[in-house]
Amino acid sequence: MKRTIVLKAEENLRKRHQKLNENLEKNLTLLRSDDAFQDLNFKLKKLMIENAKSEAYGEKADKKSEKTLREKLEKYLAEKNIDLSISYACPKCKDALYIDGKMCACLKKEISNLLLSESNFGELFSFEEARKTAPKEYQKLYDKMKEWCHGDFKKNLIFISGEVGVGKTYLTKAIASELIENGRIVKLVTAFQMSRDFKKYRFEYDEEILDKYVTCEFLFIDDLGTETIYKGITVELLFHVINERKMKKLCTIITSNLTLSEISDRYDERIFSRIVDRSTSIAINLSGKDLRLNSTTAH
């Protein structure tokens, strides 16, 4: 994961949080020059510290005065119609963005959105939206794929084939959207872009170029078969990416107009065998009218 993307996502969310609490900031500024408030607040803080000390030494704390002061302060704020409570965009992490050192779903979602805007995929839509235009033969498959998005990802390579216009993109976008909603980090790329990146990597040896293909949680490769094949580069690096991801148990979703046998002709046996490996792959063939799940499909 590119550090710059994570930083950008963090910054976006912090800004959003700030905006959400602009009113709070305004109120706090106002109260800074409010002597009556400052006086009450100072007394309360002082008493709270004294009480904490007393409790630490096992002495009796003046909790009653503390309560009275607190109520006075609350009443004062209520009369002035000032709300000092903090709003959180994400109640889960209280906008800390990390929980126990791990990224919260809100941060992952923002990262995916940034990655999405880097790709040429345009807007995503949910399964529910995709369903509206899909033939009714697809509904079962949609259910299955939605289920997959919430599963254990033992099947970590999904190959969706079919001719132009059978709904591959719809299905892909619905899967990506569902995963993002679940706080997964998703990277979408066209095979065309990918092949260009591979070529760039071969000439520049910039590890970061290849890194994003090998490390992101979910990689979507759209339209495999439409890219330019650079001799000694495209097929080799495609195998490297697919293989590395399989070993790391990261999920790869590939769409293609090519059939499985055309894949084996265009690329090589090793790529083909990774795709048809029943234990870790699902191959789906969309044919528009009669939806056939390929025999390698897991049920």
Nearer to Zn ion, 103 or 241 (CB): 103
Find out whether 76 and 37 touch, Cβ atoms under 8 Å: yes
Structure tokens at 120: 């040429």
Question: In 3-state terms, what secondary structure has residue 198?
Answer: helix
Nearer to Zn ion, 106 or 221 (CB): 106
Q: Provide, rounded to whole angstroms, the least separation between the CB of residue 217 and Zn ion.
A: 17
User: 282 has which bridge partners?
Assistant: 158
Nearer to Zn ion, 26 or 94 (CB): 94
Whole-angstrom Cα distance, residue 183 to residue 277? 28
Give the total residue count for the chain. Answer: 299
Q: Provide, rounded to whole angstroms, the least separation between the CB of residue 126 and Zn ion.
A: 21
Nearer to Zn ion, 16 or 246 (CB): 16
Nearer to Zn ion, 108 or 274 (CB): 108
Nearer to Zn ion, 6 or 171 (CB): 6
The 10 Å Cβ neighbour count of residue 264 is 17
Of the CA atoms within 13 Å of residue 299, those in its CB half-sphere come to 4
Q: Provide, rounded to whole angstroms, the least separation between the CB of residue 250 and Zn ion.
A: 23
Q: Provide, rounded to whole angstroms, the least separation between the CB of residue 296 and Zn ion.
A: 38
Indicate the DSSP class of residue 294. Answer: -
Q: Kind and range of the H or E element at 190?
A: strand 186-190
Q: Provide, rounded to whole angstroms, the least separation between the CB of residue 96 and Zn ion.
A: 7
Q: Provide, rounded to whole angstroms, the least separation between the CB of residue 92 and Zn ion.
A: 5
Whole-angstrom Cα distance, residue 44 to residue 106? 36
Whole-angstrom Cα distance, residue 240 to residue 229? 15
Instruction: Catalog residues that contact Zn ion under the rule CB under 5 A.
Output: 90, 92-93, 104, 106
Structure tokens at 56: 């630490």
The 10 Å Cβ neighbour count of residue 98 is 11
